[in-house]
Structure 1
């Protein structure tokens, strides 16, 4: 959040002025990892260029054809016409941004403020320190002196880091880091949240043990009715019947496995016995061959029975006499 003149704003930009005239250097204050938008507001232009600490970021012509420069912030910024957008500013982005439109220049001074607490989570009764570091872009120049203002509007007694001890619930809220730069006062805010401190009581060595009541769970314990003073079953009773149930279930599973294995073995033995019995009672592999016998009557018997007389054979031929 950019803050100027003790008033927080999303971003600061120059007021509308004619394209030929630009306002003075504008100071913008932003927390680290926040979004910043710089605007020239020149309307129409022929050539426009953005620079960071005299290094070219990007330039545009009247056809919106970009030309990239060597500035390191080029990969983390975006130029849209006469606007330069930085989605997440970092400490190294501190410095001077220059907008050059048709030979006219406008400068922005960006101050990145890093605010935070150590430790990040504050607990009631503990120690904490609020830090506010202003990066001006000038490593040799001294950093501005900061003054923390409490959520109730009262300034913290010491300047610089605010040391809180002990942390109380009244420290919760928005703390404002105020600092002076070039004769003007700028602010940056930090939201602080204080959590309740959890105290634990330990029994002295050799003393009586301190019993702590545990909440009753209806799913695992038998809770007594409201208002009764009967002791609740402890963890030992719960584990006793649980182990008994696990043991009984394991025994039943083991018994079922044994019965199944015995039945499988018996079934296999029966199959083997039937196979051997079939082999013993089978006929021999080689049997005597049985030939077919014909019971037909002879040919003479068939003639007596009225069959046809066979034709006589032709007499042999006599040899011819040669005179």
Structure 2
């Protein structure tokens, strides 16, 4: 009976301890709960902070708005689509009273200036682990040959050698477990520097004929401006002048044609001058001349008196 009780206690402790998940920034992390289904309630917490709570009977959901949208509930599991260093820590699932812890460790390994190093150059390897408890837990680099380098998050290579090429292991421990993250380093030979030939050497080589039996024409003395010889510029200028003259001729001709059309329409639509009118002449005596105005009419002179007959 005691054996069964101890076995159940061990299973409960293992389920409560959960698992440790290692991820690099930008990767996806999924935390599993202790059960696949629940009846009463499901609750996810990060440390002591509530992330989401679901009532199994009513389906009512409570979610803390301060957590990012990349935290999503998939059944009873919690999923982070894009891991960041701030997401490192403990994620606790409680379903129908059963508890399970999941620890997220975010590991970043890098080489500066890059993972492809030049032979004889300087480089720095760096390993950062977020979520360790205590935070100052030792982090150690192992060389490609398996030998330890130093108990430090940073390795300074003063002069890169071919022996530095290979997979470097960043190792650390957490709650009794050993974990590591690898970084592949490549070493390349330096590119040889090419020196430009001196002007004197180049001029001497240019003066020597490359083909002794071949005829080398003398260098051209034409004046070249913007890649064109002088005669090509003359041809271009003459062509432009001809085009300008043609344009002027066409403009003058069009104006003359319009002027002639305007005169033609004006003559066609203008009024013709009237001919002098001819009046009929009647044969009738001319009217008596009107007395001149301004003169007094003279009284007729009195007739002489005739003698009375006896």
* 1:154 aligned residue: 146
- 1:213-232 aligned within 5 A: none
Q: 1:260, CA displacement in angstroms?
A: 3.2
* 1:307 aligned residue: none
Q: 1:278, CA displacement in angstroms?
A: 5.0
Q: 1:42, CA displacement in angstroms?
A: 0.5
Change (3 A) 1:84 1:49: same
Pick one of 243, 250, 271 that aligns with 1:257.
243
Pick one of 36, 42, 54 that aligns with 1:60.
54
State whether structure 2 residue 257 is matched by structure 1 residue 271: yes
Q: 1:175, CA displacement in angstroms?
A: 2.7
User: In 2, are the aligned partners of 1:37 and 1:85 still within 8 Å (CA)?
Assistant: yes
User: In 2, are the aligned partners of 1:146 and 1:179 still within 8 Å (CA)?
Assistant: yes
Change (3 A) 1:80 1:253: farther
Q: 1:154, CA displacement in angstroms?
A: 2.9
* 2:205 aligned residue: none
State whether structure 2 residue 109 is matched by structure 1 residue 115: yes
Cα root mean square deviation, aligned? 4.3
- The CA deviation string for residues 17-71 of structure 1, in whole angstroms up to 9 with x for no partner, is 999982524222222222111111403212111100111111223265432025x
Change (3 A) 1:20 1:44: farther
* 2:36 aligned residue: 43
Q: 1:263, CA displacement in angstroms?
A: 2.2
* 1:131 aligned residue: 126
- 1:233-252 aligned within 5 A: 242-244=227-229, 247=233, 250-251=236-237
Pick one of 277, 288, 301 that aligns with 2:275.
288
> Which runs of no fewer than 5 residues in structure 1 stay unpaired?
1-16, 212-223, 225-229, 232-236, 294-323
Pick one of 104, 117, 128 that aligns with 2:98.
104
Counterpart-to-counterpart distance in 1, 2:108 and 2:147: 19
User: In 1, are the aligned partners of 2:139 and 2:170 still within 8 Å (CA)?
Assistant: no
- The CA deviation string for residues 162-192 of structure 1, in whole angstroms up to 9 with x for no partner, is 2234335665554321122333210112243
**Any idea what SS the aligned residue of 1:109 has?**
strand
- Size of the alignment, in residue pairs? 249
TM-score, normalised via structure 1 length: 0.61
Change (3 A) 1:21 1:144: closer
Largest Rg, 1 or 2: 2
**Any idea what SS the aligned residue of 1:192 has?**
strand
Change (3 A) 1:23 1:141: closer
TM-score, normalised via structure 2 length: 0.63
**Any idea what SS the aligned residue of 1:259 has?**
helix
